[in-house]
Chains A and B, each alone.
Chain A
Amino acid sequence: AQTVTQSQPEMSVQEAETVTLSCTYDTSESNYYLFWYKQPPSRQMILVIRQEAYKQQNATENRFSVNFQKAAKSFSLKISDSQLGDTAMYFCAFMKGIGGSQGNLIFGKGTKLSVKP
């Protein structure tokens, strides 16, 4: 069975600074995908970034980037130039590559990020 662990229940960062959220996972699958989702107070889950395990290059999306360490089973999210609108819960999630679906992700328990002015 796959597990996803987020060891930081809460974090805070000053506006314009950089913050890194940690995520580790455990799996015996060789083909899989990893995701970071954002859940603001509106409760809508929003996909932030996606990483295919077979790709060595770390995914980036504007101010968001990941540090994917496959051997260590680590998948951290870096947010650069933090903005007040980044305040949200952030969830790390795992999906099997074969037979998997974003509709059946395995989620961590989340990290509550507060961006302070």
Chain B
Amino acid sequence: GAGVSQSPSNKVTEKGKDVELRCDPISGHTALYWYRQSLGQGLEFLIYFQGNSAPDKSGLPSDRFSAERTGGSVSTLTIQRTQQEDSAVYLCASSPQPRGALNEKLFFGSGTQLSVL
């Protein structure tokens, strides 16, 4: 597709279950970011990928959160043993420029709304 695609659009899970959220960036975009947006809040940075490596994981809130990227393309964010406070919208963005480039421009997906019951 032409834009950043995220799936599923909505996910309802039970407390304690594991979930996987997927992000398909725009083809050729080397930089990929994951964010969390809790209700009534702005975006909270989680992790940054450049290619397949993650030079900045500083935003991951706990060791229950992990992410990987394969083939310099698709990325998966995994949340293990979900808790109710994990309920949020998880947004992904990609960019053709590396992080911090002067001409940096981010393209966002529509996010996954995660609800933990």
Q: Which of A99, A103, A108 is B95 in contact with, Cβ under 8 Å?
A: A103
Q: How far is the CB of B76 from chain A (nearest CB, A)?
A: 18
- List the B side residues contacting A110 at CB < 8 Å: 40-42
Q: Which of A44, A46, A104 is B45 in contact with, Cβ under 8 Å?
A: A104
- List the B side residues contacting A99 at CB < 8 Å: 100
Q: Mark B83-117, 1 if CB is under 8 A from A, else 0.
A: 00000010101010001100011101111010000
- List the A side residues contacting B43 at CB < 8 Å: 45, 91, 105, 107
Q: Is there contact, CB below 8 Å, between B33 and A103?
A: yes
Q: Is there contact, CB below 8 Å, between A103 and B40?
A: no
Q: Which of B31, B42, B91, B105 is A47 in contact with, Cβ under 8 Å?
A: B105
Q: How far is the CA of A99 from the CA of B99 in the complex (A)?
A: 9
Please report which residues of chain A, range 81-117, place their CB below 8 angstroms from some CB of chain B when the two chains form the complex. 91, 93, 99-105, 107-110
Q: Mark B28-69, 1 if CB is under 8 A from A, else 0.
A: 000101000000111101001000000010000000000000
How many chain A residues have a CB neighbour from B under 8 Å? Answer: 20
Q: Which of A42, A102, A108 is B106 in contact with, Cβ under 8 Å?
A: A102
How many chain B residues have a CB neighbour from A under 8 Å? Answer: 23
Q: Is there contact, CB below 8 Å, between A91 and B91?
A: no
A→B interface (CB under 8 Å): 4, 42-47, 91, 93, 99-105, 107-110
Return 28 A-B CB contacts under 8 Å, by A number: A4-B42, A42-B110, A43-B89, A43-B110, A43-B113, A44-B108, A44-B109, A44-B110, A45-B91, A47-B105, A91-B42, A91-B43, A99-B100, A101-B100, A101-B104, A102-B104, A103-B45, A103-B48, A103-B99, A103-B104, A104-B45, A104-B99, A105-B43, A105-B45, A107-B43, A109-B40, A110-B40, A110-B42
B→A interface (CB under 8 Å): 31, 33, 40-43, 45, 48, 56, 89, 91, 93, 95, 99-100, 104-106, 108-111, 113
